[in-house]
Amino acid sequence: MPRLSDTMEEGVLAGWRKQVGDQVQRGEIVAEIETDKALMELEAYDDGVLEKVLVGEGETVPIGTPIALLGDGSGATAEATAPAPAAAEKPEPEPAPAVDAATDSAATPAVNGPEENGSVGTKPKASPLAKAIAREHGLELAAIAGTGPGGRIIRADIDAELAKEPQPEPQSRPQPAVEASASAPSPVADEDVEEIPLSKIRKVTAKRLTESKQQAPHFYLTSAIDVTELIEFRGNLNERLQAADGPKVSVNDLVVKACATALRANPSVNVSFAGDKLLQHKRIHLGVAVALDDGLVVPVIPDADRKSVSEIATEGREKAGRAREGKLKLDEMNGSTFSVSNLGMFGIEEFSAVINPPEAAILAVGATREEIQHRDGEFVVRKIMRVTLSADHRAVDGAVGAVFLQQLTGLLEDPIRIIA
């Protein structure tokens, strides 16, 4: 199982494109892997024949776990890695007594490779994840029938075993078995509660954002921006673009471009905190948060300051669509130096976003609302949009963030400067 993202710890083998016995060429797609961010295609590293599949479809395994064997078609690779038959039908108890090497070699057939669990044919085969869950719940692997390749015990087998009867809470030390009293009430599941397993994306989102809030001291700056001129400017721009068969530009596209322009003028915000130093990013790569049914992903628009608003609109819409289909490539979600999160389309007027590490800041954009203001001796109705900058105080000082937000406000209130 390859590491396909910087935060990936395990992957789901979503599907095999090749079957056992198929010829495989280097660079050819052999399988689909569901990572913590997207569905990725796995390319073969070498030429050969797929001799054996070690991980079935739908199975989750940690990175580094062998998932298949590639050989010359003779089957020698699969045979060399196959476990030798056990000396006895019943597995030996743990820990096994020391055995003289000569006696051991006579009693147990030789093998060319170690078992995945570290023993020589005396323990049931199980995936590392299955072993961990079994150990946590005190289950004996020898009593569980494996349904994976070659009788291997997979997570689904452990889950099925746990579903048979209520299991005790995991304990750090083994406790003596106690026979339940006949009068003791059995636990009853709450019919009003449904357990929903976390998706890969939501697991990683929860982990990364928890680490962000725990490690990065957030501070927040909010500005109320008069976007009356911006809304009118957008309407005129879209009329011109549509007349030329161009893309439709959203308010968020203009905000993204304005952020990129402000970052170019304020490079002190385009940084990352790295322990005893700051990383000053020379290029401006904007992440734009996209909400999915099972989590959040952040497609990246590289070099956003060098692109026109129409280019940002086209690229952003195309990547958001593929993000919802789970078809974004890994490099399209990595490398952002600043992010924008917009909940205005849901009517949210103001909110504070959590910084997307390793970035040092993120802008939260709210909805546009008409408000009455007093200007030049009279009351007027203006369109107001509130934005909040969340910044990592280890990397960005309050005054630096305030200057950035001040310049961003100036760009959005005088929108011709965004495209100038």
| Sequence letter at residue 79 | E
Measured CA distances, 368 to 60, 344, 347 (Å): 44, 7, 8
Mapped onto helix, strand or coil, the DSSP state of residue 124 is coil
CA–CA distance, 405 with 269 (Å, rounded to integer): 10
Note whether 159 and 150 are within 8 A (CB). no
CA–CA distance, 261 with 256 (Å, rounded to integer): 9
Enumerate the active-site residues. Answer: 393
Distance of CA 306 to the CA centre of its chain: 28
Neighbours of 109 (CB within 10 A): 13
CA–CA distance, 381 with 375 (Å, rounded to integer): 10
Mapped onto helix, strand or coil, the DSSP state of residue 376 is coil
Neighbours of 136 (CB within 10 A): 13
Sheet holding 29-34, edge to edge: 39-43, 29-34, 10-16, 60-62
CA–CA distance, 269 with 172 (Å, rounded to integer): 46
CA–CA distance, 363 with 260 (Å, rounded to integer): 12
| Sequence letter at residue 132 | A
Q: Angle 251-265/228-243 helices, nearest 10 degrees?
A: 110
